[in-house]
Structure 1
Amino acid sequence: MTGFSPDWLALREPADHAARNPQVLAAVGTHFSPRASLSIVDLGCGAGSNLRGTYAALPVRQHWTLVDHDPVLLATTREILKGWADEAREQGEELVLSKDDRTITVDTRQADLTKDLEWVLGWQPDLVTAAALFDLTSKTWIKRFVAALATQRLPLYTVLTYDGREIWEPAHPVDARMLAAFKHHQHTDKGFGPAAGPDATDIMAEAFRKSGFAVSIGDSAWRIDGQQRELAGTLAQGIADAVLETGHVDAGAVAEWLAARRQSTSALVGHHDLWARPV
């Protein structure tokens, strides 16, 4: 699976948290509100942003197992969480955090989700979560994943799955060509086979509904303004690099687009959140 740097994950975290759909998150919280404790497995945890964005909606005692393929990123995540918490202590291999009125126990596990998926889900959590993951995976893998959740009757809360929408201001003549090329790149193999890219949420929703799950979907688009120039510039650079890999837009046009985007006043990048639970 394609890796992401801690610097990029830290840069995007405020936008990720601001974009989360509040209705979908509230529905997850309401579902688990009768519980005093909850166990959660977070797939492709990155730097732990999903935990930080979700914990306040969940019961007062939480046990998170953070799963990623990158052992260096997992070690970094532990240090970031220690700094984020009000209090933190080591308890064997686990990290015990106090944050607001929550007690959060964290375990980190290295795993390859292309090979170890059923093993990870075999830990039988109360909730499976992920952030910005499923657009990287393939249609075949998503169907395998949903089937595994359905077998164990496990609910899923996932956020920030890219949906293909991009609107930059002011407009540029190359916008449409850049977006088409970027979408093409989004469907290339990211480690799971040909990626679902912007189709991922629709593929998941259909598979869950066929498995007898109730599905809720909410908009979670990034809305980037002129005060977020570093995020906008880094995002635009990533898009430009991806487009150049496709060869669908000549380098001169990409360079002109990138220069314009570094001066953009605003941008919308579309994502969706999804909450699926057995009924």
Structure 2
Amino acid sequence: MTEQARVTEQGRVTEEAGMTEEIGRVSAAWLGLREPADAAARAPEFVERVRRHLAGTPRTVVHDLGSGTGSMGRWLAPRLPGPQHWVMYDRDADLLEHARAEMIHTGADGAPVTVETRQRDITRLNADDLTGAGLVTASALLDMLTAEEIERIVAVWAAAGCPTLLTISVIGRVTLTPSDPLDAEVAEAFNAHQRRTVGGRTLLGPDAVEATIEAFGRRGVEVLVRPSPWRLGADRADLTAEWFEGWLGAAAEQQPELTDRATTYAQRRLADAAAGRLGVVVEHLDLLANCE
């Protein structure tokens, strides 16, 4: 399973549900496997900025987009002060039920945290949906959007007038240690796969972060950017292996001529991962917009 997608008998599956039926359905097992790595990677500085912004707010309504199993809520709600109400959006009813059941119930200061779920296609979000929002969040979402969808959804976020925290966005850079001559070719093919056209939608993949920053800028909204890399090694060998298999599989799907060489390459890399010898850095960026 890749950071972006994995193959099932139904087709490609997105990293975070909430897009189109053509792209498919994400597995709760994958989201659970990656949750600790996401938590370790997110930029703590942005949490402090959001905390200061929300200080003294009687009750914060947080809209979490493409929430999956609710990992963002479980990570962020205990770090924020005051009463919170989380509104979680996803297209997958099963994932939303998981998110509701596993949500924490108290914030940083012991104040209550409540949750509701909305089974929705977030690319059709409108300004009315975010009425009263105090914070908008999303994780591992931007790369699965098109340029038109970024433009539309950023307009909604900017109009909401509240902070928008977007975490764990891929930027197309991966480093494997020890290095292998095939690494760069696989990475290039994978990035091309992220930019593929699915169901008439051309995904932005690693270009989505820049597109998002530019869309906010056109609306006069400053965006802060911080790195949030996954650092995978022996302590996360299962995640490393799952990520690698999907990364390579997507690259070979995009560039079939890789397939023969990929077999021995995979054997070498997966043996290293099983032995705890393979290190992987998957670079992401976190964005924080509209937070004074």
Consecutive unaligned residues of structure 1, counting only runs of 5 or more, are 86-96
Cα distance per residue 1:14-39 (max 9 Å; x no partner): 00000011112221222212323200
Q: TM-score, normalised by structure 1?
A: 0.88
- How far 1:188 sits from its partner (Å)? 1.6
Residue 115 of structure 2 corresponds to which residue in structure 1? 106
Q: TM-score with structure 2 length normalisation?
A: 0.85
Structure 2 matches for 1:53-202, cutoff 5 A? 53-81=75-103, 85=104, 97-98=105-106, 101-114=110-123, 116-118=124-126, 121-189=129-197, 193-202=201-210
Q: Given that residues 162 and 290 in structure 2 are in contact (C-alpha distance below 8 angstroms), is that contact kept between their aligned partners in structure 1?
A: yes
Q: What's the secondary structure of 1:109's corresponding residue?
A: strand
Deviations 1:29-75 (A, max 9, x none): 22212323200100000010001111133222100000000011111
| Pairs aligned (count) | 264
Q: 1:190 to 1:274 in 2, by over 3 A?
A: farther
Structure 1 residues 248 and 52 mapped into 2: Cα distance closer, same or farther (>3 Å)? same
Q: Deviations over 1:195-231 (max 9, x none)?
A: 1111111111111122111211100000111121100
Assess if the C-alpha contact under 8 Å between 1:162 and 1:270 holds in 2: yes
- 2:285 maps to 1:272: yes
How far the C-alpha of 1:192 sits from its partner, in A, is: 8.2
Deviations 1:150-187 (A, max 9, x none): 23323311100011110011111110110000000111
Aligned: 1:224 with 2:237: no
Determine helix, strand or coil for the equivalent of 1:59.
Answer: coil
Residue 244 of structure 2 is aligned to residue 236 of structure 1: yes
Structure 1 counterpart of 2:56: 34
| C-alpha contact 1:213 1:278 (8 A) present in aligned 2 | no
Instruction: Kindly state the Cα deviation for residue 13 of structure 1 after the two structures are TM-superposed.
Output: 0.4
Question: How far apart in 2 are the matches of 1:28 and 1:256?
Answer: 47
SS at match of 1:201: helix
Say whether 1:254 aligns with 2:262. yes
Alignment of 1:9-48 (within 5 A): 9-48=31-70
Q: Distance in 2 between matches of 1:235 and 1:185?
A: 15
Aligned partner of 2:3 in structure 1 is: none
Which segment is superposed worse, 131-140 or 20-29? 20-29
**Runs of 5+ consecutive residues of structure 2 not aligned to the other structure:** 1-18
Deviations 1:77-100 (A, max 9, x none): 22333xxx4xxxxxxxxxxx2366
Conserved? CA contact 1:40–1:125, under 8 Å: yes
Fraction of identical pairs, as percent: 33
Query: Of the candidates 210, 219, 223, which is equivalent to residue 215 of structure 1?
Result: 223
Measured in 1, the distance between the counterparts of 2:52 and 2:107 equals 20
- In 1, distance between residues paired with 2:234 and 2:55? 38
Aligned residue type for 2:96 = L
AA in 1 matched with 2:177: E
Residue range with higher mean Cα deviation, 55-64 or 188-197: 188-197
Return the offset for 1:122.
4.0
Alpha carbons of 1:168 and 1:214: their partners in 2 closer, same or farther (altered >3 Å)?
A: same
When residues 275 and 61 of structure 1 are mapped into structure 2, their CA distance, relative to the original with a 3 A threshold, is same
Code of the aligned partner of 1:269: V
- Corresponding residue of 1:89: none
- The one-letter code matched in structure 2 to 1:171 is S
1:207 alignment partner AA: A
